[in-house]
Amino acid sequence: MSEPTVYHIPVCPFCQRLEILLSLKGQRNQVRFRVIDVTQARPEFLLEKTRGSTALPILETADGRILKESLVILQYLEDLYPEPVVAQRDPYRRAVESLLVRMEAEFCNHGYAFVMNQDAGRRDAHRAGMLRQYARLDEFLMEHAPSGPFLFEAFGWAETVFTPLFMRFWFLEYYEDFQLPAELARVRAWRDACLSHPAAQQVSREQIVKLYYDYAKGAGNGALLPGRRQSSFSFKPDWPERPWPPRDKYGHSATDEELGL
Ligand SMILES: COc1ccc(C(=O)/C=[SH]/C[C@H](NC(=O)CC[C@H](N)C(=O)O)C(=O)NCC(=O)O)cc1OC
């Protein structure tokens, strides 16, 4: 094996982080990406490599060593391909970047809990919680980068970490009619600049909305819903050939046929 290999799910936000970083560095073709079908049990060869853990992405170095956790793999790739630099080199700026990145897990969890919520009576609580998460980002950016749009001069480390989550939260706009209010202008400017960056165009809004339908019905990571034969994460039929799913997640459960599966 002459190059690193990433085992990934094409639409997983954590896997997309690696593609964005490599794209920024012009090294996307130096790393082999092997697609794993999240709707199927992990293949034995992979479980042997990971000693049983199933979360993706997984990176196998050129000499066969295994790494997991997207933020760790990002740092490995940053060190393996040091130019152009993506993470800040100045110690204080790197610390500020790290403070912002420390907010990604709670931000992610709120968004996924919101889209996976099945209790219409809790919609407003989820919405309020998601708005608080965006307000935290807005406050941080107003303190450290009031003019923007990025945290520093260009799309960098924090943007690489957050942009896949901003893209997944297209499912909140579609299934929960979630919109950022005008008073959160700073984080909205950051989000919009991230969404349009050329290094981050691995997935589209239509793809996310169609593939994540089952998450909106409470089934994550390729799990199968009652009465369904296929997950919305299935690779076939390819998502461009499928119709847009119904938006009414609380009142209707689409069949495989309605989803074009
Ligand atoms: C907070 O809830 C969620 C947040 C994100 C995702 C997601 O996009 C999974 S993407 C695919 C998912 N990968 C991960 O969760 C990796 C997270 C890890 N911390 C990283 O940063 O690499 C996976 O492989 N799951 C299958 C398994 O673990 O066997 C799903 C959520 O709930 C189902």
Domain identity same for 108 and 174: yes
Q: In CATH, what number is assigned to the domain containing residue 137?
A: 1.20.1050.10
Domain identity same for 96 and 76: no
Domain identity same for 151 and 126: yes
Domain boundary among 200, 227, 242: 200
Q: What is the pLDDT of residue 1?
A: 58
**Is 15 inside a domain boundary?**
yes
Domain boundary among 80, 112, 127: 80
Burial 26-38 (b: 16+ CB within 10 A, else e): ebbeebebeebeb
Q: Which of 17-26, 111-120, 126-135, 220-229 has the lowest mean pLDDT?
A: 220-229
Domain identity same for 111 and 130: yes
Name which residue sits closest to atom 33 of ligand 1, judged by CA: 220
Each residue's pLDDT tens digit, 200-236: 999 999 999 999 999 999 999 889 999 999 999 998 9
Provide the domain count of the chain.
Answer: 2
Amino acid at residue number 27: Q
Q: What is the pLDDT of residue 109?
A: 98
**Is 261 inside a domain boundary?**
no
Domain boundary among 171, 200, 229: 200
The set of protein residues with a Cβ atom below 6 angstroms from ligand 1 is 9, 12-14, 54-57, 69-70, 108-109, 112, 220-221
Strand partners, 33: 6
**Is 211 inside a domain boundary?**
no
**Is 240 inside a domain boundary?**
no
pLDDT exceeding 90 applies to what percent of the chain? 93
Say if residues 19 and 78 touch (Cβ distance below 8 Å): no
Domain identity same for 95 and 196: yes
Q: What is the pLDDT of residue 38?
A: 80
Q: How far is the CA of 244 from the centre of ligand 1 (A)?
A: 24
Interface predicted TM-score (ipTM) over 0.90:
yes
Instruction: Pick the atom of ligand 1 nearest to 12's CA.
Output: 10
Mutate to test the pocket of ligand 1, among 56, 109, 224 (most ligand atoms within 8 A of CB): 56
Owning domain of residue 32: 5-80
Taking residue 189's Cβ as centre, other Cβ atoms within 10 Å add up to: 16
Question: Residue 98: which H helix or E strand, with range?
Answer: helix 91-101
Q: Which of 41-50, 97-106, 128-137 has the lowest mean pLDDT?
A: 41-50
Alpha helices in 169-211 (DSSP H): 170-176, 185-195, 205-211
Each residue's pLDDT tens digit, 136-176: 999 999 999 999 999 999 999 999 999 999 999 999 999 99
**Is 233 inside a domain boundary?**
no
**Is 225 inside a domain boundary?**
no
**Is 14 inside a domain boundary?**
yes
Q: What is the pLDDT of residue 10?
A: 84
Each residue's pLDDT tens digit, 14-62: 999 999 999 999 999 999 999 998 888 889 999 999 999 899 999 999 9
Domain identity same for 19 and 67: yes
Domain identity same for 136 and 102: yes
**Is 246 inside a domain boundary?**
no
Q: How many residues does the chain have?
A: 261
Task: Tell me how many degrees the CA angle 89-153-102 measures, rounded to the nearest 5.
Answer: 60
Q: In CATH, what number is assigned to the domain containing residue 66?
A: 3.40.30.10
Name which residue sits closest to atom 32 of ligand 1, judged by CA: 220
Q: How far is the CA of 91 from the centre of ligand 1 (A)?
A: 30
